[in-house]
Amino acid sequence: MVNKRELKKYVEALGSSVAQEMMLVYYSVEGIDAKAIGEAVQTVIAAVETAKCNANRSFDRGRRAFADNREYAVAKRKFFRTLFQKIENDFNSEINAALKQFNAALPEDVKQAQKEAVG
């Protein structure tokens, strides 16, 4: 991720599209475990909010803590790069967990139909 704004847009776009697809299946497929789908959607929404809140961190050291402006810029860039990478990794792992929970809630006939359509 390049900056906080793009990270937040990425998280919001991915989270909303995943939640939208889950809700589409929730209302269109019969025989699903509605409670498990609802929990998966809640997991996605919580992951989005957590990632957006964690992105609001700031670099806690000022320019005077460094010998010159270049050292400050390098340290600040490294801080945000590692922060955004950690947020992205945590977000992706939570989304993957929600997708596993979602897939477990689908009935077997729907899973078989999807496998046949793909392969």
pLDDT digits (tens, 9 = 90+) for 24-46: 999 998 889 999 999 999 999 99
In this structure, how many other beta carbons lie within 10 angstroms of the beta carbon of residue 7?
22
Q: What is the pLDDT of residues 54-109, one digit of tens each?
A: 999 999 898 889 999 999 999 999 999 999 999 999 999 999 999 999 999 999 88
110 falls in which pLDDT band (50, 70, 90)? confident
The contacts of residue 32 (CB under 8 Å, 6+ apart) are: 25, 26, 105, 106, 107, 110
The domain spans of the chain are 4-111
Contacts for 1 with CB less than 8 Å, ≥ 6 apart:
7, 10, 84, 85, 88
Give the model's pLDDT for residue 119: 75
Helix H or strand E segment including 20: helix 4-28
